[in-house]
A and B are shown apart, each in its own frame.
Chain A
């Protein structure tokens, strides 16, 4: 082992360990960095500059930024829209009936709509300037999870994403939940499509109560409904199995125009759209739900709507949804006081069109939200988005275009366990660090990061690592390993990088080059060339990209601070 590989021997090297490192940091105010790492898929030089221009001081800038983000329609996102429009996707604008005609009844590929929705999700995740909105879209896809690869869900998935989740992501919860209940994707995924009469299927109703609204925290499994303890506002504190069963009765007959043999044999009963089929509704029996009767023979859809109303005004629902929102944006262990205050906003505005935006504003601007020490660990998807954003990448996946690069990328993402729309059970991807820091997830995330800088489409690198580096250091003599590593660390993480890790990365990048010796980044692109006797010149461009992959595997990069 030569001296180079033992950094302890290098401690006297002022050029690397001296104060110059701190001085070269051009980090913006820490609040901008914290807000953008936490409330977006990653801070970029541009988003940091925009944040800084929003007001005279940090608090004013934060309020202005949050308000801007919560009115996404007013943010010009034409660059991102153009990328998607130019991608040549063919299924994303199809109506539900068209998706059904082409991809269910017709011979078009059943999975194509899902794959394109996923590709668009990836583009928006890293390119859209409506970052809070895109994070909320992800949140609701988790909250109202359906398994996208399901045989019946995949062909209609663009409808679920475009018409059910996205329009309501900052809107009204009651409106959204009814659209979810009527959506073809959910009607298939949780089987309500085939729930009929007295032999109802309880799958949807159970998850509606347990996951979508009140939460298992207030589940009193087998007690008689009138023995559920009383809670606030004269409502029962929670629900029992009997509430689940009666809710299921209320939703019988909410189904899909799927050409079922009991429907009229006309094309309009085979469009894939929502259908309330009264013959299947358990209309004659009275139901008892959350402490109140639902009378027999109510109007069409009335029983289900009553169930949704009662759920959406219930304090347990407000707490359950707010707890999850706070877990997404603030901390794995949501502070109880913030849950309570956010839930109060949620309930006050349960009929307001922008209920969710109001709740989110309350959460993002709460003092607890960006307190130093509060930490969220990035999930693998967020790791990928951050790496793409911070390299100004404009990755536009082409599903079905073969293994390189998009099949490879998606395969690696899938192995992390966090590929979009691929969580089979209805609870959605977990959102606490303990579930995302297993050996498997971390190892697979680093595998993804090792591949990322090497991905090429038509000869062009998906992440322009080398060209960004050359732009940043136009003069050859500036291109020392220390300068390059510092520039990238500032871009990827900000100023707070463990100094020993920094030195380690510099040592790997420079190999046997002297500390003040520039690297030859124009030598034999794209990889560099063989130079076994002089390692600093051995595949220097490939080594720069590997250094980038390592930086994206740093503890500092795993955190949304």
Chain B
């Protein structure tokens, strides 16, 4: 695809020849300066309970909410009120010990700055499916109702987009262990669970790295790429891509800065405080890649743990020792996204968030009525979120309603906003895709109907 083919070209021309990696690529010296927009597709795997994230504090929905949610309804005084009748789960904007009145933190603060949009009544209006695996596949592939599509929606976007920068590394990074479905079929996407531990480094030190002080000496890792030449199979292509990624990423120090131990390490800016979790590390790695300006266009990030059939948890703001599973999860998420936003928006290199948008979604919402295990089973409609410098913040869409006639099949929140329309709007307004090309990314979506989440 679009990625420069320097390494491939060298290999093909020189047969088995072994080249010093450092001569090919120095990301700090050759940053492409492409200034392109970046879309981050963040999937909350497991089906987050959107009604636990954003609940009615008052108004006409409060009474049916209490009635149908029983013991799982969050009391009014434990929600962080937004304008209107809605309130956020308190841990979106504060630690367990923070009372409701404490100044909002993290995503709640960004919401107040109009940088976070929450879309109500979102999901897959054209298809109902309560299987995690089917519903995730439908969404990732961008073809609700079909999971046999050979390409993910992001892969199709990258294939049809015109004018994308020629990336130094790859147009797309999937932060996951196994290939994310949204990028399925893009044979140039880099999939990494962790950038800083992506390094061929286990050989004995004598042959692990090239010793420049010894004439003719080369580390064993140089052998890897040429070992995968001379074969056209899918496996060999994957192997060459992986060997290439190892070679390039070896030149970037993804570990955190330490003035003595790691002066070359990465230093988050603006006081950004990433949680030292997988999600925090992945978003930190992503911010670093975005700042390197290598022509990265799209990234996927997954954050799971939302399948709360049992012990979903109830917030108790102001009580620092109270255990709340959902609260712990949403706080980690809120902190990590806030760190990412802060790091990029307050960078000495400029406000990168002016060209970075994050879209957050989940495969389905959860049933309104709780189950016997203080948890919730699989439901239907849900919220989506979007974060960025060019986002029209606030509440969007329409709450589908909790009265008998509004509930889907009498049990679930309904879904009116097609999640594809939100992604389509990001592609058109931020990534410069022409609206007519949308039917190649989302075949069968129907007409493009932006609802005003993204600024042009």
Contact = CB atoms under 8 A, between A and B. Distances in A.
A199 interface: yes
Interface stretch (A5-13, A28-36, A386-394): A5-13
A450 B220 contact: yes
Nearest to B173: A439
A253 to B, nearest CB: 11
A173 B22 CA distance: 56
A164 interface: no
Given A202-B371, A527-B206, A221 B230 contact: no
Contact of A546 (B128, B177, B204, B307): B204
A512 interface: yes
Interface in A513-531: 527-528, 530
B206 A543 contact: yes
Interface string A526-561: 011010100100110011011101100111001100
B373 A440 contact: no
B165 interface: no
Contacts of A439: 189-192, 238, 241-242, 245
Contact of A545 (B127, B204, B371, B378): B204
B207 interface: yes
Interface stretch (A74-82, A189-197, A263-271, A477-485): A189-197
Contacts of A553: 224, 227
B408 to A, nearest CB: 9
A210 to B, nearest CB: 5
B207 A546 contact: yes
Nearest to A199: B372
B355 to A, nearest CB: 25
A5 B216 contact: yes
Contact of B227 (A200, A244, A504): A504
A201 B234 contact: no
B372 A454 contact: no
Interface stretch (B12-20, B113-121, B259-267, B315-323): B12-20
Interface in B166-209: 174, 176-179, 184, 189-194, 197-204, 206-208
Interface stretch (A132-140, A345-353, A423-431): A423-431
A105 interface: no
A439 B255 CA distance: 19
Contacts of A241: 130
Contacts, number: 236
B291 interface: no
A508 B223 contact: yes
B220 A550 contact: yes
Interface in A1-28: 1-2, 4-8
A532 B211 CA distance: 10
B333 interface: no
A444 B198 contact: yes
Nearest to B244: A439
A214 B310 CA distance: 25
Contacts of A472: none
Contacts of A448: 202
Contacts of B174: 438
A199 B375 CA distance: 11
Interface stretch (B82-90, B131-139, B418-426): B131-139
B177 A221 contact: no
Given A4-B216, A505-B223, A532-B214, A201 B373 contact: yes
A435 B130 contact: no
A452 interface: yes
Given A503-B16, A504-B227, A546-B207, A221 B129 contact: yes
Contacts of B134: 216, 219
B246 interface: yes
A539 B206 contact: yes
A503 B371 CA distance: 64
Interface centre among B198, B208, B220, B227 (most CB of A within 10 A): B227
A200 B176 CA distance: 34
B226 A195 contact: no
A222 interface: yes
Contacts of B220: 450, 508, 543, 546-547, 549-550
Interface string A34-47: 00000000000000
Contact of A221 (B128, B197, B215, B372): B128
B238 A442 contact: yes
Nearest to B180: A438
B370 interface: yes
Interface string B361-405: 000000001111101011000000000000000000000000000
Given A203-B309, A435-B178, A500-B15, A442 B133 contact: no
Nearest to A507: B16
B347 interface: no
Contacts of B214: 532, 535, 538
Interface string B1-24: 000000000000001111000000
B170 to A, nearest CB: 9
Majority-rule SS of A interface residues: helix
A362 B238 CA distance: 33
A2 B216 CA distance: 7
B67 interface: no
B234 A528 contact: no
A201 B310 contact: yes
A417 B193 contact: yes
Contact of A216 (B46, B131, B239): B131
A438 B178 contact: yes
A366 interface: no
Contacts of A416: 177
B304 interface: yes
Contacts of B409: 222
Nearest to A241: B130
A5 to B, nearest CB: 6
Contacts of B208: 450, 546
Contacts of A451: 202
Contacts of B224: 446, 550, 553
Contacts of A559: 235
A483 B128 CA distance: 62
Nearest to B218: A5
B101 interface: no
Contacts of A546: 203-204, 207-208, 220
Contact of A438 (B179, B194, B310): B179
B177 A438 contact: yes
B198 A440 contact: yes
Contact of B206 (A7, A194, A377, A542): A542
A437 B234 contact: yes
Contact of A199 (B17, B192, B307, B369): B369
B437 interface: no
Given A433-B234, A440-B192, A527-B206, A555 B228 contact: yes
A550 B242 contact: no
24 contacts: A1-B216, A191-B309, A196-B372, A200-B371, A206-B378, A219-B134, A221-B130, A430-B178, A437-B179, A439-B238, A441-B191, A442-B239, A443-B245, A444-B193, A447-B198, A447-B202, A452-B202, A500-B16, A530-B206, A538-B217, A542-B203, A547-B220, A558-B235, A559-B235
Closest 4 CB pairs of A and B: A451-B202, A450-B202, A417-B177, A539-B206
Interface of A: 1-2, 4-8, 190-191, 194-197, 199-203, 206, 210, 216, 219, 221-222, 241, 244, 280, 377, 412, 415-417, 424-425, 427, 430, 433-444, 446-452, 454, 498, 500-501, 503-505, 508, 511-512, 527-528, 530, 532, 535, 538-539, 542-543, 545-547, 549-550, 553-555, 558-559
Interface of B: 15-18, 45-46, 127-134, 174, 176-179, 184, 189-194, 197-204, 206-208, 211, 213-218, 220-221, 223-224, 226-231, 233-236, 238-239, 241-242, 245-246, 304-305, 307, 309-310, 369-373, 375, 377-378, 409
